[in-house]
Chain A
Amino acid sequence: MLAKRIIPCLDVRDGRVVKGTRFVNIRDAGDPVERASFYNREGADEIVFLDITASVEGRRAIVDVVRQTAEVVFIPLTVGGGIDSPSFMQELLQSGADKVSLNTAALKNPSLIREGAEQFGSQCIVTAVDARRIDRSAEADSPGWEVYSHGGRQATGRDLLEWVKEAESMGAGEILLTSMDADGTLGGYDIEMLAAVTGAVEIPVIASGGAGSLEHMYEALTSGNAHAVLAASVLHYGTYSIAEIKDYLSSKGLPVRPVEK
């Protein structure tokens, strides 16, 4: 039986981590390799690097980050942010990444998902989707969600459920779903949206955006039917350790990979 995964996400800009501090046993809180190593020791099941570098030149730094991390961290690494070509995917995968996460470029050109899946296998290709609730309470009783691109800055007019189904049919191996409404609120994942997406596709869905408590994660993995939860703030600010999260989920009967020494 597959274990439910706990995945820390590190935002990286120009090769440095830009979110969160408050770690005592990390010498340099801004060093992505050290942060990834820390979470690896803590029992993370996977690490996600999200490159939010603005410039194309600055993006070269993420390749080095991946390579250095892969020298010391022996769990799967996923890299997202600005990936717009199979050749860049290949470079990241050869540097030690196990998966690449596509977002804006896939929205512009969905066949990029297919090209990646054909060349490297579906298991390498994550499609990251940022979505926001549509306020149409006046006209309909069921909620809808709209997909945003460019790190959540641009509305695309695309319907969330249609887009995740298209991504799956193109060969995506996983969906990384972020609720922009919930992101950063610590108020819980958007369970309704999560359940709608996990009901629409068969590939694993990683829940992201809104985790503030252990109950939130349990809810995402049960009511939301997510395979994994991505967490940033609760981990970065030390609210919970990965061991605490896993102990809690395990006590509630969910399969998790125990934290080893």
Chain B
Amino acid sequence: MNKLVIVDSGSANLYSIYKACQMVSLQPVISDQPGIVAEAGAVIFPGVGFFNHAARALQEKKLTAALLKVAADRRPLLGICLGMQLLFEESEESGNISNAAKGLNVIPGRVKRFPAGLPVPHVGWNRAVPAIEHPLFEGLNGGAYFYFTHSYYVSPERRGHSLASTEYGFSFTSAVCSGNLYGVQFHPEKSGPAGLRLLANFGKIIADQQ
């Protein structure tokens, strides 16, 4: 009941995140099995691609219920990129799709598209500046550079859920935290030493919890 599970929802390249975890002495397993995810000690939930496709894939693979169980049992869960966006209920990306699949809806708020006039996707190295001192950003409080690649961003309803922000023509939420739930818009597995530090910090959060 103490395993760290990287959720394989079929959309993300999991190799780099798996290797990055090993680099900071975490021993994750990759699984798409709802039973294994539901019993995980902690979960990393990566994702790339389209919100609607990914949300539907989670339902089809019966991973939605497993992830909700992890969230409800207050076990640490880290969403990465689309994985973070899927912690919210819906995305503007699904705007014109009828019967668009919903996200997990465990953090209130919406996923929005960058305003017109800004080049999208937002790709490259940008700073994530934590709003408060938090264990996830230990050693990264000065606003380290992380690697981003995305066209949508999360807009939490409650300011307190926004853990870090990034400037791209305006200030958007680039990391969230609500209880045991964490999310980062950037890719820690592609963000050099800062990204590895963040994963190590998540490992410490897991260890403290267990």
Contacts and interface: CB of A to CB of B under 8 A. Distances in A.
Interface of A: 1-3, 5, 40, 43, 45, 67, 70-72, 74-76, 93-96, 98, 121-123, 173-174, 202-204, 227, 257-258, 260-261
A51 B171 CA distance: 39
Interface of A is mostly: loop
A5 B125 contact: yes
Contact of B125 (A2, A67, A93): A2
B202 to A, nearest CB: 15
Contacts of B144: 260
Given A75-B147, A76-B147, A121-B48, 18 more contacts: A1-B127, A1-B167, A2-B122, A3-B124, A3-B145, A40-B192, A43-B192, A67-B15, A70-B16, A70-B19, A72-B19, A72-B23, A74-B189, A95-B15, A98-B149, A174-B123, A257-B192, A260-B193
Nearest to B192: A75
A96 B193 contact: no
B20 interface: yes
Contact of B15 (A45, A94, A173): A94
Nearest to B167: A1
Contacts of A98: 149, 190
A258 B190 CA distance: 15
A3 B190 contact: no
Interface residues of B, number: 30
A96 B168 contact: no
A11 to B, nearest CB: 23
A122 B124 contact: no
Contacts of A258: 145
B168 A122 contact: no
B135 interface: no
B124 A204 contact: yes
B196 A5 contact: no
Given A70-B16, A71-B19, A74-B20, A3 B126 contact: yes
A261 B193 contact: yes
B126 A96 contact: no
Contacts of B70: none
Given A1-B168, A74-B23, A96-B15, A257 B145 contact: yes
